[in-house]
Amino acid sequence: MNKKQKRLAFVSSAVVVAGLAVTLVMTALSSSVAYFYTPSDLAAADERPTNTIRLGGLVAAGSVAYAEGTEARVDFIIEDGAHSTPVTYVGVLPDLFREGQGVIAQGRIGPDGVLAASQILAKHDETYMPREVAEALKEQGVWQGEPPAE
Amino acid sequence: MTTQQTSFWTRYANPAAFQRLSARIAPLAGGGAVALFAVGLYFALIGSPAARDHGEAVRILYAHVPAAWMSLACYTYMAAASLVGFVWKHPLADVAAKSIAPIGATFTALTLITGSLWGKPGWGAWWVWDARVTSVLILFFMYLGYMALWNAIEEPTRAARIAAIACLVGFINIPIIKFSVDWWNTLHQPASFTKQGAVDGAIALPTWLLFSAYVLAFFWMLLVNMNAELAERRAARLEAGARPTSTLVAEPAE
């Protein structure tokens, strides 16, 4: 090997070794790298988690109920197609919060199985279109609605 | 190797020849960037509609998405230049890699800042620790670390060698950033512009215009930075007592 080939071999092996190390770390951490769990993940779990978790899914249609009175409490259900989890939250909701929208609720699951959320995040999809186009599509009945979030 | 193959490779290894060429290209890139920014900003701020879901906040996309592309592209160029500099010892490659770093860091900072501004109306939070956002923050620190290495090591050839290894090893982060939204559950949405029909033409137009402006601005800043770096090295050599004529020829390859 001449000097150039040696340098190339050195830097390639450094990158390969570092790549392997990162892959191993990411495989080991794959469950904690996930930003949120789904209701199906919860249903598949052996026991109910007692620590703070993030739960992601779609706001079930017709499930949103605003509590009477001054307290800004809202109850709704997060579903992922297969399973669903009830959520209760006191506070300001993000602008994109609505039925059928992907959301992530952070909080603890109580003994009654209801997730008491301390924060609600809206997860929007990757489609961007002007309002007028969306309204025109709705009028023509072509609008397919929100594609299911994962 | 034939002479034709070596000619392009070696011609601009001579800093003087490179500086003559860049003196012609830099004003074109800078002027083009200014013109594209003017047209692009018009379409981004005035000549485009509000979006479903996002409303007027969609305009943040026009600054955010091209900056994010640039942050990845700059690192890729920096890694390619580092490889050429480390393995083939091309004298301008190290200068290029060193000159890209602050530009890439700026685009990454712009990505993080505009992302945070968009995160509040879009997601409901200024900052989240999901895989996409966190991996881009790591990219920002890698740019800073790369620049710190250059500053910490006095001798340029040694600094170039060590910084190149760090840069190439850190390249692993680039595919992680790109595919983070596919590999894990993230709050950040998956790729839009590579997905057929996901982005309406009225929203794609300002994005592409501003991306082109960013690209030309990148080349302009790169040429200015490289010329400054070459001038600095020549000044250092003159101070060290080297004869002025020796600065006009390319440094030996080995």
Interface test with B, best of A127, A132, A142 (most B CBs within 10 A): A127
> Distance between CA atoms of A109 and A17, rounded to whole angstroms?
42
Q: What residue spans define the domains of chain A?
A: 1-33, 34-140
Distance from CA of A96 to the nearest CA of B (A): 7
Report the complex ipTM.
0.80
> Distance between CA atoms of B22 and B30, rounded to whole angstroms?
12
Backbone angles phi, psi at A103, to 5 degrees: -135, 160
Of the candidates B96, B103, B71, which has an alpha carbon nearest to the alpha carbon of residue B81?
B96
Share of chain B above pLDDT 70, in %: 91
Q: Which residue has the higher pLDDT, A134 or A63?
A: A63
B224 within 8 A of B65, measured Cβ to Cβ: no
B185-199 pLDDT, tens per residue? 889 999 999 888 889
Tokens standing for A106? 């952070």
CB atoms within 10 A of CB B182: 10
Share of chain B above pLDDT 90, in %: 67
pLDDT confidence band for A144 (50 / 70 / 90) = low
Torsion of CA B84, B89, B94, B97, to 10 degrees: 0
Mean pLDDT value of segment B76-101: 95
Instruction: Considering only the beta carbons, identify the residue of B128, B169, B187 that sits closest to A15.
Output: B169
DSSP alpha helices (H): ranges in chain B? Answer: 3-11, 15-45, 59-88, 91-122, 131-152, 156-170, 173-183, 201-239
Mean pLDDT value of segment B41-61: 90
Distance from CA of A142 to the nearest CA of B (A): 14
> Distance between CA atoms of B225 and B227, rounded to whole angstroms?
5
Kindly determine whether residue A22 and residue B165, on different chains, have CB atoms separated by under 8 Å: no
pTM of this structure: 0.87
A43-55 pLDDT, tens per residue? 888 888 888 999 9
Kindly determine whether residue A36 and residue B125, on different chains, have CB atoms separated by under 8 Å: no
CATH topology of domain A34-140: OB fold (Dihydrolipoamide Acetyltransferase, E2P) (2.40.50)
Distance from CA of A11 to the nearest CA of B (A): 7
Kindly determine whether residue A11 and residue B128, on different chains, have CB atoms separated by under 8 Å: no
A119 neighbourhood in chain B, CB within 8 Å = 124-125
Distance from CA of A4 to the nearest CA of B (A): 6
pLDDT of B252 over the 70 cut: no
Instruction: Considering only the beta carbons, identify the residue of B88, B121, B200 that sits closest to A133.
Output: B200
Q: Return the top range by mean pLDDT from A100-104, A133-137, B33-37.
A: B33-37
